[in-house]
Amino acid sequence: MYLTKEEEKILNGEYGWGLAKAMQVIVSVGDSLNSEKLIGITHAHISGVSYGNIGEPGKKLIKQFSDEGIKFSVKTTVNPIGYDTLDYDAIPFTKIDRNYIKGQEEVLRSLQKMGADLTLSCTPYYLPMVNEIKIGSSVAWGESNAVVYGNSVLGIKTNREGGPISLMAAIVGKIYYYGLHIEENRIPEIKYKVNKPENYEINEVRASIIGEIISKIHNNDKPPYLYEKLRNETTVKEFSASIGAAGNLAMVVIKGITPIKFNEKEINETITIDFNDIKKREDELKPNDKPDLIYFGCPHTSKYEIEKIAKYLKKVDNLKTQIVITSSRNEMSKIDKDVLNILKSKNVKLIGDTCLIVSPFGYHGLNVVTNSYKAYFYLSKKGINVSLISLDDLEEVLRL
Ligand code: F3S
């Protein structure tokens, strides 16, 4: 890989152990991918900051950097951790070990000392800082839903970086020129259409099923082109998360949404998804029993979604099911008092910094209803019975 003189100096340790170590990781991965050079990034989003995932080795490595006085070279945000920092016991059916909190707090202290903004959210795209990232600029994001959303909706460029790579890239402010950082790799070659009746609306559950189908069948190096209208922001977000969870894709060109220029006429392969296949999967995933818990917030809810939930709940007199919403502190800070009062009166748990997947939530056989395919995907692996409904069908589930 070609390195500038300055990059070579960093690599050779002229600026200290920490920078050299981070540069070595970036360069060796770049070399193994046959990348020709490094490029600058404007932002990093670090996933894998949960002590439950990285354990003592991860904690020690981050602390070593922080003790060395290493600072992040670019604005850096971080993913959720396993608990709400303001109320450790906020998540129902969950026990948080106090030793775990100690380990996590040390990780967070180190990251903060290095200059990270402790956003503890998987929706960096809802943070005000996102307006500072220009379309077409390269970033190093390490949370799959954010990666897909960033590439497909914001038009910024990132590969699916693992936690360690996003950490090292944040330190050196660079990443290898590879994959989706290269413009031509972002131009789709296969179009996906849904064969459906008129007035068939693609809500977030249906969009996520489409995401699951595309993830399984797309067999091309370039991103798929979804030639369908996704009806709102919730749909786009949940679609991005399902694409990220169900397979390895990092981008989908979405009709009318992705800011990218390409010649549609050059796409000569179209794959049609039949709406009956979507319906079949939708029926399989539908709730039949009364849930023990209803969950919204994977990826973290927006203020708009929280308001929508409160609007539905206002009409419900005798709410018997526990509802949990996870969100970012930033979105939560924007919610009106009236909305908060409705949620409080319905005993809804509005929880920050975490989610039911990253936390040690639940037990085998628990019944959870959610609008998130990604939550379904991961919670099911823990033996939790998860079914899917659209946020707009919340009233239907409350009648179960
Ligand atoms: Fe976010 Fe947790 Fe889902 S980190 S995308 S809410 S799994």
Residue with CA closest to ligand 1 atom 2:
355
Instruction: Report d(CA 114, CA 119) in Å as an integer.
Output: 14
| pLDDT (mean) for 36-55 | 96
Residue 69 — pLDDT band, cuts 50, 70, 90? very high
> pLDDT for 211-224, tens place per residue?
999 999 999 999 99
* Cβ of residue 122 lying under 6 Å from some atom of ligand 1: yes
CATH topology of domain 286-398: Aconitase; domain 3 (3.30.499)
- pLDDT at position 163, please? 85
- Ligand 1 centre and the CA of 6: distance in Å? 38
* Cβ of residue 356 lying under 6 Å from some atom of ligand 1: no
Instruction: Report d(CA 53, CA 33) in Å as an integer.
Output: 26
- Ligand 1 centre and the CA of 374: distance in Å? 8
The CA–CA distances, whole Å, from 2 to 37, 38, 67, 114, 305 equal: 5, 8, 31, 28, 47
Ligand 1 atom at shortest distance from the alpha carbon of 241: 5
| pLDDT (mean) for 5-9 | 98
> pLDDT for 99-125, tens place per residue?
999 999 999 999 999 999 999 999 999
Residue 231 — pLDDT band, cuts 50, 70, 90? confident
- Ligand 1 centre and the CA of 37: distance in Å? 32
Q: Is the pLDDT of residue 396 over 80?
A: yes
| pLDDT (mean) for 321-343 | 97
* Cβ of residue 146 lying under 6 Å from some atom of ligand 1: no
Q: Please work out, in degrees rounded to the nearest 5, the angle formed at the alpha carbon of residue 365 by the alpha carbons of 364 and 368.
A: 105
| pLDDT (mean) for 289-300 | 96
Instruction: Report d(CA 109, CA 106) in Å as an integer.
Output: 5
Ligand 1 atom at shortest distance from the alpha carbon of 374: 3
**Which tokens sit at 392?**
């707009």
Report the percentage of the chain scoring pLDDT > 90: 94
- Are β-strands 38-40 and 75-78 bridged in parallel, bridged antiparallel, or unpaired? unpaired
Q: Is the pLDDT of residue 269 over 90?
A: yes
Q: Is the pLDDT of residue 400 over 80?
A: no
Q: Is the pLDDT of residue 335 over 90?
A: yes
- Are β-strands 174-176 and 38-40 bridged in parallel, bridged antiparallel, or unpaired? antiparallel
Our mutation pick for probing the ligand 1 site, out of 298, 329, 356, 386, counting the most ligand atoms within 8 A of Cβ, is 298
* Cβ of residue 357 lying under 6 Å from some atom of ligand 1: yes
Q: What strand order describes the sheet that includes 43-46? A: 75-78, 43-46, 140-141
Ligand 1 atom at shortest distance from the alpha carbon of 146: 5
Our mutation pick for probing the ligand 1 site, out of 120, 144, 145, counting the most ligand atoms within 8 A of Cβ, is 145
* Cβ of residue 243 lying under 6 Å from some atom of ligand 1: no
- pLDDT at position 61, please? 96
Q: Is the pLDDT of residue 98 over 80?
A: yes
Would you list the domain boundaries of the chain? 5-183, 187-283, 286-398
Residue 350's DSSP bridge partners are 325
Residue with CA closest to ligand 1 atom 7:
357
- Per the prediction, the chain carries an average pLDDT of 96
Would you say 188 and 225 are in contact if contact means Cβ atoms under 8 Å apart?
Answer: yes
* Cβ of residue 351 lying under 6 Å from some atom of ligand 1: no
Domain 5-183 in CATH 3.30.499.10? The answer is yes
Q: Is the pLDDT of residue 375 over 90?
A: yes
Residue with CA closest to ligand 1 atom 1:
299
19, amino acid identity:
L
- Range of weakest confidence among 96-100, 303-307, 396-400: 396-400
- pLDDT at position 318, please? 86
The CA–CA distances, whole Å, from 142 to 137, 169, 182, 208, 384 equal: 16, 10, 18, 20, 26
- Ligand 1 centre and the CA of 327: distance in Å? 10
**Which tokens sit at 85?**
């920092």
Residue with CA closest to ligand 1 atom 5:
299
Ligand 1 atom at shortest distance from the alpha carbon of 244: 5
> pLDDT for 56-65, tens place per residue?
999 999 999 9
Ligand 1 atom at shortest distance from the alpha carbon of 356: 2
308: left (phi over 0), alpha (psi -120 to 50) or beta: alpha
Residue 342 — pLDDT band, cuts 50, 70, 90? very high
In the 3-class helix/strand/coil scheme, how is the chain assigned residue by residue?
CCCCHHHHHHHCCCCCHHHHHHHHHHHHHHHHCCCCCEEECCEEEECCCCHHHHHHHHHHHHHHHHHCCCCCCCEEEECCCCCECCECCCCCCECCCHHHHHHHHHHHHHHHHCCCECCCCCCHHHCHHHHHCCCCCECEECCHHHHHHHHHHHCCECCCCCHHHHHHHHHHCEEECCHHHCHHHHCCCEEEEEECCCCCCCCHHHHHHHHHHHHHHCCCCCCCEECCCCCCHHHHHHHHHHHHHHCCCCCCEECCCCCCCCCHHHCCEEEEEEHHHHHHHHHHHCCCCCCCEEEEEEEEECHHHHHHHHHHHHCCCCCCCEEEEEECHHHHCCCCHHHHHHHHHCCCEEEECCCCCCCCECCCCCEEEECCHHHHHHHHCCCCEEEECCHHHHHHHHCC
394, amino acid identity:
L
Ligand 1 atom at shortest distance from the alpha carbon of 79: 4
Ligand 1 atom at shortest distance from the alpha carbon of 300: 6
- The pTM for the full model equals 0.97
Instruction: Report d(CA 134, CA 101) in Å as an integer.
Output: 36
Would you say 202 and 235 are in contact if contact means Cβ atoms under 8 Å apart?
Answer: yes
